[in-house]
Structure 1
Amino acid sequence: MIVNMIDLRSRPYRWSAVLAVVEAAAKDNAAEDADKVDAGIGIEIDYAEREGISVREAVLWADRLEGMVTLYLYDRDETETE
């Protein structure tokens, strides 16, 4: 389940192919003024990524994952062909 999403793209209107990264939301507990997340019991995603998916696919993918996650969106590597 997505609890936070951080868009770090320098090209924010490019939505068809991005790099999506998820990390356990509990890692955000160290951030100043963060809502705190308890580390869950059971399966937790520490880190996962998917490259070349749309923003919509990234959100759907991250929301289906077990545990609470933060979704980060990055620009896709410019050296790849489109």
Structure 2
Amino acid sequence: PFYKGTLIINKGFTKETGIKVIEDGDADLVAYGVPFIANPDLVARFEADAPLNSPDQTTFYTDTEKGYIDYPAMSE
């Protein structure tokens, strides 16, 4: 590889594909954007193999509370 530093990749990874890309040595870290928006407890969900909330992209980056504070946590 041309780049010898830490490589962080993102865009469309699931828990499984993120693990695979790291295990295969194709990246050092995987960044999860959209999954974190809909799942503020994403790490806990991954650890528990819990289902994820579906994101509502019509609420992204708007000026209302909808989509920012109303996604249910795993325990709700």
Does TM, scored on the shorter chain, surpass 0.5?
no
By relative contact order (CA 8 Å, sep 6+), the higher-ranking structure is 1
Structure number with greater Rg is 2
User: TM-score, structure 2 length as denominator?
Assistant: 0.30
